[in-house]
A and B are shown apart, each in its own frame.
Chain A
Amino acid sequence: MQHTLSVTVEDKPGVLARVSAMFSNRGFNIHSLAVGPTHVEGRSRITLVVDAPELEQLKKQLHKLVNVIKVQELSPSETLESEVMLVRISCDPATRGEISDTAALFSARMIDLSPNTITIEASGTPQQLASFLEHVRPYGIVELVKSGRVAVKKLSDVSPSLRER
């Protein structure tokens, strides 16, 4: 089962290595990983999506790392998540319009065009990106790259349907 963890760490050399090494050391698999600075100087946030039957041991082991300051588990129902994806799709003059119409429906945008490919940048929840990919897959995906997932706890009462817009 996939879990999303938000880990606040000291922004020091080697911290990401310590975190990722702990996962392999303890036999857990990281599905996705994103790292970046936070609004507080000297603090970074690592967002991890992990495949694990349960998280308790993992969270405790993360806490044991001296440079880890806070570990938060983000449950899907109370979390805002986002990923960025760049996807290059085969096209010809006839299909180019259809693909960009589809992209528009997903609020994705074209960022590159060649005679036989179109490259789209899309962002959104993992489900939205998966759905977009299903729509364009029949045209032929030439190349695909995805960022790690970033996530933050939801504080508002935004209904899921609105979020899935």
Chain B
Amino acid sequence: MIFGIPGGAILPAYDPMLDSPIRHILARHEQGAGHMAEGYAMATGRVGVAMATSGPGATNLITPLQNAKMDSTPLVAITGQVASSAIGSDAFQEAYTTGLAMHCTKHSYLVTDAEELPDVIHEAFHLASTGRPGPVLVDIPKDVLNQNTQWTEPSLAGLPGYKPTSHGHPKQIRAAVDLIESSERPVLYVGGGVINAGASGELAEFAEIINAPVVTTLMARGAFPDDHRLALGMPGMHGTYPATTAIQNADVLVALGARFDDRVTGKVDAFAPHAKVIHVDVDPAEIGKVRNTEIPIVGDARLVIQALIDRVLSLRDASKAPHREPWIAQLESWKTTHPLSYEQDADGPIKTQHFVERLHALTGGEAVIVSGVGQHQMWASQFWGFSEPRSWVNSGGLGTMGFAVPAAIGAKAARPDDLVFALDGDGCFQMTFQELITAATEGIPVKVAVFNNGGYGMVKQWQNLFYDGRLSATDLGTTVPDYPGLAEAMGCVGLRVDHPDQIDVAIEKALAVEDRPVVVEVVTDPDEMCFPMVPAGGSNDDVVMGPEDL
């Protein structure tokens, strides 16, 4: 499956697609094509492919490339380039694509002869999907696309410097297990690497045999079931109090495929001040980048966690897990004293959190949830009880508004039998909603809830908290556009709810539509703020539970 848009320089690659079994999904903007490919990859673990022409086609892919780089999503982007003889002449639709992509890809190629293509495409998929996954760009001049060449069996001989480490060092594994077994207050700090490695099963077994709580970062939601007794939810800026506070009190922090992002750590000097750190990551450059590490382990999360399990079980029975009673009791107590909360007035206005909970109830949590960026994203992460990996698709590292609609289309195209529900903000929706035309015409029936609070809610929240309530350029109004009308114009079903009583009916209606995309406008409270919150640069010891704490 390829998500793309044709154009002059990439024409020769599009012509043979008519005779090929590869499904091409025609996006309406190359950024949309890129995010669709990301959604496809995040919902499946397979490499997503986006294709675009030279110049503006390629530059429109830059945001998805950087997004995929930040979130370690396997992506191959294929771009047309002006003919070799015209490169450097400022030709029509020319851009220095490999140069532009240098900082936002794992690697990039400019193909100079068609005979390189089998190796380059093979290498591109290998690089995108192995080690720390990421985006790879292949730029192909038009004359090279038109060249005839002999097929050769591709090889990876052209990658002498690329050797990702997959197995953790046995000495480090032993040291890590010694430290974990002797710890009193361990925390497993789980990042997106666990999902990329397909290590959820191993993680659950490991957490149970060592009896340690698990926090899952924004990129790791679903890596560990939220209803597990050891699950504490998401840590960090808008994380749960138990997750953030457990890390602050941990004596041993086991980071598994996590990168100590500033949204998790808050002020780094104050982060996990009592913890010795075991850091497992497939990318050695992540280890020690932000936080000093007592026991670094370079390797694939699944293989390393399995090795940790094996080591523990070579020393004792699985059932002889340390009790850690004071620690477990403390965590349970925090869950009770500091739960996630909001107040839904029966007469409205609707709180996004409430809609998320109703959707979970009415779907049994059986859905791939895709979100944009902002308050609604945090509420989706907080209030959707995740139980499966790859059931959460969002833009974490780059925070790309507009991600949800196209990413949901990619996820639904990849998993047509599953319910894919985008939870989007009105600001995000207005950045990329035209891709719903793609969804309607390509027969990809995604559902989208647009939480319409009439503004850029998270930015407005910061203005209210840190800029004396001076609301500069965050008001979008609630009257334009007419979302249901807009949805209908794009070939979708359009619904609108503005009272809590209407939510269940609207969700049922949306779920009943199978042949078209559905957009549900949910008019929400414009003044609701997202909590808990650790203000940017603040210490994670100072979790603000609500406006009354400020």
Partners in one complex: yes
Question: Does B106 lie at the interface of the complex (its beta carbon under 8 Å from any beta carbon of A)?
Answer: yes
- A57 / chain B contacts, CB cutoff of 8 Å: 285, 288-289
A window 52-95: CB within 8 A of B: 56-57, 60-61, 63-70
Q: Verify B161–A66 contact, CB threshold 8 A.
A: yes
> Which of B98, B162, B283, B285 is in CB contact (< 8 Å) with A66?
B162
Question: Does A27 lie at the interface of the complex (its beta carbon under 8 Å from any beta carbon of B)?
Answer: no
Quick one: closest A residue to B99, CB to CB?
Answer: A17
Q: Mark A19-59, 1 if CB is under 8 A from B, else 0.
A: 00100010000000000000000000000000000001100
Question: Does B228 lie at the interface of the complex (its beta carbon under 8 Å from any beta carbon of A)?
Answer: no
B window 283-312: CB within 8 A of A: 283-285, 288-289
Q: Verify A25–B106 contact, CB threshold 8 A.
A: no
> Which of B161, B162, B288 is in CB contact (< 8 Å) with A56?
B288
Q: How far is the CA of A57 from the CA of B110 in the complex (A)?
A: 28
Quick one: closest B residue to A69, CB to CB?
Answer: B161
Give B186 Cβ to nearest chain A Cβ, in Å: 26
> Which of B102, B110, B284, B285 is in CB contact (< 8 Å) with A18?
B102
> Which of A25, A60, A67, A69 is in CB contact (< 8 Å) with B285?
A60
Q: How far is the CA of A69 from the CA of B77 in the complex (A)?
A: 25
B side interface size, CB within 8 A: 17
Indicate whether A69 sits within 8 Å of B284 (C-beta atoms), given known contacts A13-B110, A17-B99, A21-B103: no
- B288 / chain A contacts, CB cutoff of 8 Å: 56-57
- B289 / chain A contacts, CB cutoff of 8 Å: 57
Q: Verify B161–A61 contact, CB threshold 8 A.
A: no
Quick one: closest B residue to A62, CB to CB?
Answer: B285
- A121 / chain B contacts, CB cutoff of 8 Å: none
Q: How far is the CA of A102 from the CA of B289 in the complex (A)?
A: 49
Q: How far is the CA of A25 from the CA of B99 in the complex (A)?
A: 13
Question: Does B160 lie at the interface of the complex (its beta carbon under 8 Å from any beta carbon of A)?
Answer: yes
Q: Verify A14–B127 contact, CB threshold 8 A.
A: no
> Which of A17, A25, A63, A67 is in CB contact (< 8 Å) with B284?
A63
> Which of A10, A17, A21, A60 is in CB contact (< 8 Å) with B160?
A10
Q: Verify B285–A68 contact, CB threshold 8 A.
A: no
Q: Verify B161–A68 contact, CB threshold 8 A.
A: yes
> Which of A9, A13, A66 is in CB contact (< 8 Å) with B107?
A66
- B162 / chain A contacts, CB cutoff of 8 Å: 66
Q: Verify B110–A64 contact, CB threshold 8 A.
A: no
A window 130-161: CB within 8 A of B: none
Q: Verify A64–B285 contact, CB threshold 8 A.
A: yes
Give B293 Cβ to nearest chain A Cβ, in Å: 11
What are some 9 contacts across the A-B interface (CB < 8 A)? A9-B161, A56-B288, A57-B288, A60-B284, A63-B161, A64-B285, A66-B161, A67-B161, A68-B161
Q: Which residues of A contact B (CB under 8 A)?
A: 9-10, 13-14, 17-18, 21, 25, 56-57, 60-61, 63-70
Q: Which residues of B contact A (CB under 8 A)?
A: 98-99, 102-103, 106-107, 110, 127, 159-162, 283-285, 288-289
